[in-house]
Amino acid sequence: MDYHSGGTAMERMNLGKLSSAVDAAAGHSPVYETVVNFTRELGTTVTLARWERADCCDSMVESGGIGWVLSGTVRKSVILESGQRRIVDLMMRGDFFSLQGDDPRAFSFEVSTDEAVTARIAHRDLISMPILQPELYRFVHERTCETISRLENHILVQGRTRSAQKIASYLSLLCARLSEEQGAAVELPMSRYDIADHVGLAVETVSRAITDLRRRGLIELETPRSMAICQAQKLLADLT
């Protein structure tokens, strides 16, 4: 396995270092454990990289293929003609995403947490996988379907007509991704500016919507990023 630090230096990474990175990712799920095992089985065909907050991870897309997050969070964004940033996807631990090195749309990848560890398979290795590693390829296909489902859910969020509905739906989906325990406090891996750029609203609108949800007792905020959904059913009812 290759290991990149900060997108520049490179060293060989052994499974012990991978274990350390995995242990740092709190809240493991059965699917996430399967992703880790999948990464181990790939052996030398996978490239691992460790990044720090605000690091640009664009080098991941140089050879195309697919990538996934082992710890931390990576945001995929694009700068529109107006100069406004729009976050296209938010990849958390266990999430897969496609890498198109020749994509004319100038997407950029950036770490939004203190640290992130990513993995990727080059396009050439992905092509040979159905024949050489059919079980692993089947797993990749399943994760790809999950990626499509994740993006479809975000399209549904964008389709909400009221900004309050957008934020309630967005936070509900986000908390479900961050914790399998309903009502558990989660640490949001992004700022309100990121949320605004992800749902296409002004940051002031996002702040007002979050404040309103808190005032109504639907969510709790210990810090600006530590949130818990107190009344999931009422929050879902707010979407109708």
All structural domains of the chain, each given as residue ranges with its CATH number in brackets, are 2-154 (2.60.120.10), 159-237 (1.10.10.10)
Instruction: Find the mean pLDDT for residues 35-64.
Output: 85
Q: Taking 80 as the threshold, does the pLDDT of residue 238 lie above it?
A: no
Q: Taking 90 as the threshold, does the pLDDT of residue 87 lie above it?
A: yes
36 within 8 A of 70, measured Cβ to Cβ: yes
Query: Would strands 115-121 and 46-52 be described as parallel, antiparallel, or unpaired?
Result: antiparallel
State the chain's mean pLDDT as an integer: 82
- pLDDT, residue 149, reads 93
Distance of CA 96 to the CA centre of its chain: 8
Enter the pTM of the model: 0.82
pLDDT band at residue 214, thresholds of 50, 70 and 90? very high
239 within 8 A of 233, measured Cβ to Cβ: no
39 within 8 A of 70, measured Cβ to Cβ: yes
- pLDDT, residue 229, reads 83
- Alpha helices of the chain — where are they, by DSSP H? 15-23, 30-42, 123-132, 134-158, 163-178, 192-199, 203-215, 232-237
Give, rounded to a whole angstrom, the gap between the first and last alpha carbons of the chain.
48
Q: Taking 60 as the threshold, does the pLDDT of residue 9 lie above it?
A: no
CA dist., res. 117 & res. 41, Å (int) = 17
114 within 8 A of 53, measured Cβ to Cβ: yes
Instruction: Find the mean pLDDT for residues 105-114.
Output: 87
